[in-house]
């Protein structure tokens, strides 16, 4: 719930009953409505280079990361 949400209880209610209603309403809404943050571009990600296999032959390990 945000600061702008308001819950009004009419009639006799105990503090435990109000707490139960607030807990149910807080668990039921709001958190899943926000859009996830977009992922950044992967072109400069360092872990992409780590998953490539090594080239075969003499100095294969060295030429793997040269372009």
Residue 9 lies in a domain: no
What's residue 37's pLDDT? 76
What is the pLDDT, as a whole number, of residue 16? 93
Task: Please check whether residue 58 lies inside any domain of the structure.
Answer: yes
The answer to whether position 3 is within a domain reads no
Model confidence pTM above 0.95: no
* Cα–Cα dist 63/51, whole Å: 15
Whole-number pLDDT of residue 33 = 62
* Residue 7, domain member (yes or no): no
Residue-level pLDDT at 65: 66
Look at the chain and report how many structural domains it folds into. 1
**d(C-alpha 48, C-alpha 20), whole Å:** 48
Domain contains 34: yes
Pick from 66, 64, 40: which is nearest to 53 by CA? 64
What residue numbers bound the domain in which 48 lies? 15-63
H/E stretch holding 41 reads none
25 within a domain of the structure (yes/no): yes
Residuewise pLDDT in 10s, the chain (67 residues) = 555 677 788 889 999 999 998 888 888 876 666 777 777 777 777 776 676 666 777 877 777 666 5
């Amino acid at each position: 719930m945000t600061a702008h949400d308001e819950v009004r209880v009419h009639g006799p209610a105990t503090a435990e009953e109000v707490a139960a209603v607030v807990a149910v309403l807080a668990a039921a809404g709001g958190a899943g409505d926000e859009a996830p943050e977009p992922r950044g571009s992967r072109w400069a990600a360092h872990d992409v280079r780590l998953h490539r296999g090594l080239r075969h032959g003499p100095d294969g390990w060295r030429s793997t990361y040269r372009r």
